[in-house]
Structure formats: C-alpha cells, structure tokens
Amino acid sequence: MEKRVYTIVGATGNIGHVLARGLLKRGHKVKAIGRNPKKLKTLQEQGAECITCEITDKALLLKASQGSDALFSLIPPNPIEPGDYSAYQDKVGAIIAESVQKNQIPYVLDLSSVGAELPDYTGPIKGLHRHEIRLNSIPNLNVLHLRAGFFMENLLMAVPAIKKLHVLAMLLRKDLSIPMIATKDIGEKAFEFLDKLNFSGQQIFDFEGPKSYTLVDAAKIIGKKIGKPDLSYEQIPYDKAEAILVAAGLSSNFVKTLIEMDKTFNENKIKPTQKMTAEHKGKTTLEMFIDEIDFKKFD
C-alpha cells in the first residue's frame, strides 16, 4: 500500500480526530493541526506529527502543510467570534486555500454542509458555499466537498438547559424531520475518501444519518436516557432567540447567523441535492448516539 502524507486541519475535533486515527492505523503520515496541545497529545502518542496552530496563523499553516499529498479542510465554527462571522469564515477559508495552492497539494477533502449550494439565507452555511467556490478555483486541484447533515452533537449544546429547565429547546420546528448524523460517522466517511483518494476534479458528496427524527423524538430519546421520560421539546421563538443564546455565551453575530440558518431549515429549503443511497448514510442512529453519552459530565 502506498504511504502518503496528510494534513488534517481541526485534528482535535470530533471529525478530525476520527479521521487522523484511521489514517495513522493505515500507516500513513499524519500532520495533525489543532489549537489545544493537550488534545493533540493523544494523536502524537499514536504517531502523528502534531502542530499547535491557530487556524488564522497563515504562516504556520503554510509551513505545516508543506509536502502533503492531501489535506482535510474545514472552517471550525466559532460561536464566540465577536466580529463579523462571515469575515471570520472568509479569512480562515482564504488561509486554507492559499496553503493548498502554494504547496501544490493535489487533493483536498473539504468538510462542507447540506445546503452549501445555496448562496444566501443560510447563515454560517453561506461561508461554506463561498469556500467551495474558493477551492474549486484552484487550478488542477482534486477536491471533494463532503456536505454533511445536522450533527447529533448539536443536541448536546442544549443539555445544560435541559438539566436546569427540564425541556429541550431549539429554534427548529417540532414537526421538522431531520436525518441527523453522528460526527463519528462523518470522520469514518472522510477516512474512506482520503485513504482511497478516489475522487478527481470538483465533486460533492451529500452525507446524512440512517434515520430521520423530529426534535420531539430527540427529546424522548434523551429523556429516557437521563431518567426524564416526560422531557418535552419547545421551539424558541425567533424574536427571543438572540437574548437567550447570547445569555448562554454565544456572540450576537454568531447567533444572528444561526437564526437565519434555522429559518431556512424550517422552510424545508436546506436539503441534499443527491439521491441518498446507503452509501450516503451513516450507521449511527440517534438512540445509539445518546446511549453512548455520559450525561454526568454536564453536571
């Protein structure tokens, strides 16, 4: 088997960590890039070359990704970004694209999102739309945009409020059916693509979970796990959402993008563009995901 060199941006995240471990087990060289040296230590112990780097450090990312056969690209969400959120996304995306182009990296797997074909009214997904275009403009680059669906991990952001208020509350409609995906499955799918490098030109790949759930369903599944079988779901009104989420620690600019995105989700305008065969679906159900969560760590 050919041994390759991979640069993994966001290697300490849920997706990047799974991807990096898979590539290391296959005997590839992995350059793991992340902000937290403590979280990088686990990958270093498994043989990765670890680089502690802020994603906005252009010089360091450019140097770290030299000599790579492929790069895993993502724009990490930053819910406490105080400035213009779109500007933050474009800054990070431009740094990644410049590193790819200057280092002549031939392959990029780009973590994108369902709905990234839409140019507007999608909140943070708009930044991923622009990043897809940015990467597509690099001459001779083979790039695959992995358009993932709603992360199951998003539900965990609501756990502190669940424990305090005994209700699951988000901005999405009660009856909205969502094919939620576990980030572990996304990491494993990313590994498949990067290990094989079986894509060329400019491609997209929609990826979602094995089943669809409403947030009422999610509340029942979480409630059963934490001993609150009557846990209910309530939709947060748009006009109250900003104050509630800012009080929870998110920046006002980031919250505005979330509200815009969730409005478009609620209008059923954010959907996959491809036929969702078994290949396009993960294996982890929401029941399986919730069963693995240690809710005591949220106390």
Q: Please report whether residue 140 resides in a domain.
A: yes
Domain CATH code at residue 136: 3.40.50.720
Q: Please report whether residue 95 resides in a domain.
A: yes
The domain tally of the chain equals 1
Q: Please report whether residue 267 resides in a domain.
A: no
d(CA 158, CA 168): 7
Q: Please report whether residue 265 resides in a domain.
A: no
The string of pLDDT tens digits covering residues 24-64 is 999 999 999 998 888 899 999 999 999 998 889 999 999 99
Q: Please report whether residue 220 resides in a domain.
A: no
- Residue 230's CB is within 10 A of a number of other CB atoms, namely 8
Report whether pLDDT(220) > 70.
Answer: yes
Q: Phi and psi of 218, rounded to 5°? A: -60, -40
The highest-confidence range among 48-52, 156-160, 246-250, by mean pLDDT, is 48-52
Quote the pLDDT of residue 226.
93
Write the CB contacts of 54 (distance below 8 Å, at least 6 apart in sequence): 35, 60
Q: In Å, how far are 55, 105, 187, 256 from 79, measured between CA atoms? A: 15, 30, 22, 11
Q: Please report whether residue 112 resides in a domain.
A: yes
**1 — pLDDT class (breaks 50, 70, 90):** low
Helix segments in the chain, DSSP class H: 14-25, 37-45, 58-64, 85-102, 125-136, 159-165, 183-196, 215-226, 238-247, 252-266, 286-291
Quote the pLDDT of residue 53.
87
Q: Please report whether residue 174 resides in a domain.
A: no
Q: Please report whether residue 143 resides in a domain.
A: yes
**Mean pLDDT value across the chain:** 95
- Residue 201's CB is within 10 A of a number of other CB atoms, namely 10
**120 — pLDDT class (breaks 50, 70, 90):** very high
d(CA 51, CA 37): 8
The string of pLDDT tens digits covering residues 253-294 is 999 999 999 999 999 999 999 999 999 999 999 999 999 999
**Domain span at residue 41?**
5-151+181-207
Nearest residue to 31 via CA among 1, 62, 77, 2: 62
d(CA 297, CA 159): 10
d(CA 104, CA 237): 48
Write the CB contacts of 154 (distance below 8 Å, at least 6 apart in sequence): none
Nearest residue to 28 via CA among 72, 61, 69: 69
Lowest mean pLDDT among 1-15, 209-223, 278-292: 1-15
What does the angle CA 57 – CA 128 – CA 43 come to, to the nearest 5 degrees? 50
Quote the pLDDT of residue 39.
85
